[in-house]
Structure 1
Amino acid sequence: MNPDVWLAAVLGAALGASIVAIALRRKQRKEIIASTLVPHRTRQLLSVLQSGAVIVRRDRRAAFVNNPAAAIGVARPDGALLPAIADLAELAWKHSEAVEEEITVKRGVLGVTSQVHVRAVPLDSDLVLAVVNDHTEARIAEQSRREFAVNVSHELKTPVGALSLLAESIEEGADDEHMVRSFAGKMRKEARRLTKLIQEIIEISRLQGGESVLDYEDVHIADVIAEALDGASLTAESKNITLTADVKTDPMVMGDRDLLLMALRNLVDNAVHYSDPGKRVTVSCKTEDGTVSIAVVDQGIGIDPKDQERIFERFFRTDPARSRDSGGTGLGLSIVKHVALQHAGTVDVWSQRGVGSTFTLRLQEHGVDPEIQGEK
């Protein structure tokens, strides 16, 4: 064969092979992109949803997870996916239509159980969109609202009745300047208590409705502790109570910073209110096995064992007279409990009369979730 012809044949074969290889690589790249890549704009859209959103791939892993879905505990940003979600996605592919199901999710290392509604919609032959909503609180909301209405009407009668009596007394003794000043001061105190009660009623109503955690974000617990102690410093100084932070680590949790601050502030305020002058209140923080434990320790009057199981109930007070003197509403610890539930956490108490109390808020450390298993 002519050398020129031979060279041309070799070059032609090489060029053809290169073209085929390039075409195959492009085809494979398109297939990979189609099956695993979620466009940037789609990610932005799903990221702003209040509902959890997961894009499920054929290999039973997540191509995308927004913050609410990660907080609910059905998937992780690294692609690990709750098996029940993957099963529902396969069912959606099988029937080529949207499918819905209620599933039980163990949230985080604390094992808090939630009832979650999932709707899986096939986007194409390789991707499914799963929309996730936690309906745990909604299931008991109606019953809670009925009970709450009864409790609220009873609690509001006390400050409203007191204001009415004080106003009548001022009207009858308008010529007595000393009495008018004294009763006006009492009216201001009752008005402040009524305002606080109404604010906490609004907060706990939102919490029980499951509508409070709107913006999940990374929360530095050390900052929350510092701000809670700073907010309680004036009250503590007025009673000569020392506030101390024992924080040797700065773990992060995923949640609503304002709600977590409100919960911790309630615990610190309670510790101050129920401690005698000259005592100490300490807030400590530690992490162990993916659990963040925040403990508020006081040297207060303590809680009777018979009351310890009830202190997280709405409007329950261990010492009604002292609580009213300090402006307490009986809702603070109930708010703490509901904030903990909203963040898949728990709150408990250890207490002994004459020794003091320790309230411990436990939350899941961000990025640690052994309940979710996925093939890598």
Structure 2
Amino acid sequence: MNDLSNELQLKIERLENEISFKNGLISILSHDSKEMFGNFLWLIEAVEEKTISEEDFFKLLPQLKCDAQKNLQTIQDSTSWLKTQYGEFKIKPEKIMVMDLFHHFKEKYALQLKEKNIKFHFKGDPNAFVTTDRLLLQYVLDKILNNAVKYSFPGNDIHLQEVTDDHQVIISVIDFGTGMNEKYLPEIFTYGTPLFLGTAGEKGVGLSLKIVKNFVSLMHGNIQIVSAENKGTTVSLVVRKFIE
């Protein structure tokens, strides 16, 4: 009876988390879309009614572009998540070389790394590998690395570190940027976490880490975050080394 009760409780908690996630997703999409289109409509009307000068109009365009990019990222993240929720989604495990992941992201983030003069290093066994779903893993690491770049100070280093034992691989993204107060860590994957600007004024989306947690769960992995203000953040992804 106790086993049945515990199983039922776990199912209830899982359903509550899914409902909370979906409600939060709808809230973010609704709020961000209203804000962006509201600002866009206000600007058009101001130009039409000549209550704003051309000079001021062009000064506001970079902010509109930034808001549009943030909304586009939200939609892309939502689309990635939706693909795992409908139909009979199943992960497709394959052997992935960790060094290949490092080279992939070093090339993808080359421009951002150059703009902030950040050096991206690999630490670990160059022959290490992990067996999991490539799309899910790349999404998760992409969002973690994106945050590392966003919150790193110019001239800092970022490390992609690999540690392997008999059954699992720990892939960590280590930065030495702004970090965060420990009091925010328990809420990092919830909708109550405040959004922080990057060191170059980059805006956060507020959704990516929620989807990251969902994807890590699909991979049967675990994610751990250690952070300290003005000292940096280490995000570690723990995944199985072999297919079982």
Q: Which of the five TM-score ranges fits, normalised by the shorter chain?
A: 0.7 to 0.9
Structure 1 match to 2:132: 255
How far apart are the structure 2 equivalents of 1:168 and 1:276?
39
Q: Is the contact between residue 266 and residue 332 of structure 1 (CA under 8 Å) also seen in structure 2?
A: yes
How far apart are the structure 2 equivalents of 1:215 and 1:322?
34
Alignment of 1:287-298 (within 5 A): 287-298=164-175
Return closer, same or farther for 1:209/1:248 CA change in 2, 3 Å cut-off.
Answer: same
1:315 shift after superposition: 7.2
Structure 2 match to 1:236: 113
1:143 shift after superposition: 4.8
Tell me, yes or no, if structure 1 residue 200 matches structure 2 residue 98. Answer: no
How far apart are the structure 2 equivalents of 1:210 and 1:350?
36
Q: Which has the higher contact order (CA 8 A, sep 6+)?
A: 2
1:209 shift after superposition: 5.9
Work out which of the residue numbers 353, 361, 365 in structure 1 matches 2:229: 353
Structure label with greater radius of gyration? 1
How far apart are the structure 2 equivalents of 1:210 and 1:303?
38
Structure 1 match to 2:18: 141
Alignment of 1:105-124 (within 5 A): none
1:151 shift after superposition: 3.8
How far apart are the structure 2 equivalents of 1:289 and 1:162?
54
How far apart are the structure 1 equivalents of 2:117 and 2:224?
27
Structure 2: runs of 5+ lacking an equivalent: 1-6
Tell me, yes or no, if structure 1 residue 222 matches structure 2 residue 87. Answer: no
Alignment of 1:61-80 (within 5 A): none
Structure 1 match to 2:239: 363
Q: Deviations over 1:306-330 (max 9, x none)?
A: 10111122473352x4499413201
1:362 shift after superposition: 0.6
Q: Deviations over 1:40-96 (max 9, x none)?
A: xxxxxxxxxxxxxxxxxxxxxxxxxxxxxxxxxxxxxxxxxxxxxxxxxxxxxxxxx
Return closer, same or farther for 1:221/1:310 CA change in 2, 3 Å cut-off.
Answer: same
Q: Is the contact between residue 136 and residue 219 of structure 2 (CA under 8 Å) also seen in structure 1?
A: no
Tell me, yes or no, if structure 1 residue 312 matches structure 2 residue 189. Answer: yes
The one-letter code matched in structure 1 to 2:217 is: L
Return closer, same or farther for 1:317/1:213 CA change in 2, 3 Å cut-off.
Answer: farther
How far apart are the structure 1 equivalents of 2:212 and 2:20?
20
The one-letter code matched in structure 1 to 2:110 is: S
Percent identity of paired positions between Structure 1 and Structure 2: 24
Structure 1 match to 2:207: 331
TM-score, normalised by the number of residues in structure 2: 0.82
Return closer, same or farther for 1:296/1:168 CA change in 2, 3 Å cut-off.
Answer: same
Tell me, yes or no, if structure 1 residue 189 matches structure 2 residue 62. Answer: no
Tell me, yes or no, if structure 1 residue 165 matches structure 2 residue 80. Answer: no
Return closer, same or farther for 1:185/1:302 CA change in 2, 3 Å cut-off.
Answer: closer
How far apart are the structure 2 equivalents of 1:310 and 1:323?
22
Aligned-partner SS, 2:172: strand
How far apart are the structure 1 equivalents of 2:167 and 2:31?
42
The one-letter code matched in structure 1 to 2:219 is: H
Tell me, yes or no, if structure 1 residue 300 matches structure 2 residue 210. Answer: no
Return closer, same or farther for 1:174/1:185 CA change in 2, 3 Å cut-off.
Answer: farther
Structure 1: runs of 5+ lacking an equivalent: 1-103, 105-113, 116-135, 370-376
Tell me, yes or no, if structure 1 residue 278 matches structure 2 residue 155. Answer: yes
1:290 shift after superposition: 1.0
Q: Is the contact between residue 213 and residue 255 of structure 1 (CA under 8 Å) also seen in structure 2?
A: no
Return closer, same or farther for 1:166/1:322 CA change in 2, 3 Å cut-off.
Answer: farther
Q: Is the contact between residue 225 and residue 264 of structure 1 (CA under 8 Å) also seen in structure 2?
A: no
How far apart are the structure 2 equivalents of 1:138 and 1:229?
38
1:283 shift after superposition: 0.8
Aligned-partner SS, 1:309: helix
Structure 1 match to 2:29: 152
The one-letter code matched in structure 2 to 1:271 is: A
The one-letter code matched in structure 2 to 1:361 is: L
1:140 shift after superposition: 4.9
Tell me, yes or no, if structure 1 residue 265 matches structure 2 residue 147. Answer: no
The one-letter code matched in structure 2 to 1:281 is: I
How far apart are the structure 2 equivalents of 1:173 and 1:244?
52
Q: Is the contact between residue 235 and residue 272 of structure 1 (CA under 8 Å) also seen in structure 2?
A: yes
The one-letter code matched in structure 1 to 2:123 is: D
Q: Is the contact between residue 185 and residue 225 of structure 2 (CA under 8 Å) also seen in structure 1?
A: yes
